[in-house]
Amino acid sequence: MIRYTLTCDQDHQFESWFQSSKAFDALAKAGHLSCAICGSTDVSRALMAPSVPAKGNKTDLSAPMSNAEETMTKLRKDVEDNSDYVGKDFAAEARKMHDGDAPERAIWGESKLDDAKKLIDDGVPVMPLPFVPKRKTN
C-alpha cells in the first residue's frame, strides 16, 4: 500500500491510500478520483518525501497518530460494544431481521459487495463500516 498526498486544481491537499502507483494512475485516468474537500476530479499527486525515521527513533504504532485515528478507534469500540458480530453471515442475518424472521438487534459483519447491494435495493438499512474485523493471528 502507498499513501499519497494529493492536490486538486483548487490547491486543496488531502491524503489517500492506493494499492500501488499503477493503481493510482489507473484510477486517475478513469476519472475515479475526486478532491475530499471540493469534489474536483482534477487530482494529482503532490511532491512527497519518503517518511523514514532517524536511526534509533522508534515509532509507537499502537498510539493514535491523529484525531481521525482516535475517532476511528472510538467508533470501532462503540460498534463492538453495542452490537453483535455475525461474521460472514451478515447479509443473511440482516435479511432475516428485515423479513421478521429474526429479532431486530444491532449487528455488524462481513458481506460480499453484491449481497450488500441486494440488501440496499430491497430496502434493508445497511451501511459500510470504515474498518474490518480484527483478525486473530499466530
User: Residue 133 has which C-alpha cell?
Assistant: 474485523
How confident is residue 137, by pLDDT bands cut at 50, 70 and 90?
A: very low
Of 4, 27, 137, 15, nearest in space to 69 by CA: 15
Coil, strand, or helix at residue 90?
A: helix
CA 108/CA 80 separation, integer angstroms: 8
For 6-47, the pLDDT digits (tens) are 888 888 888 888 888 898 888 888 888 888 788 888 888 887
Domain extents in the chain: 2-45, 67-121
Q: pLDDT tens, 42-89?
A: 888 887 666 666 665 565 555 556 777 788 888 889 999 999 999 999
Q: What is the pLDDT of residues 90-111, one digit of tens each?
A: 999 999 999 999 999 999 999 9
In single-letter form, the type of residue at position 36 comes to: A
| pLDDT at residue 134 tops 90 | no
**CA-to-CA dists, residue 11 to 35, 37, 68, 129, angstroms:** 10, 10, 22, 29
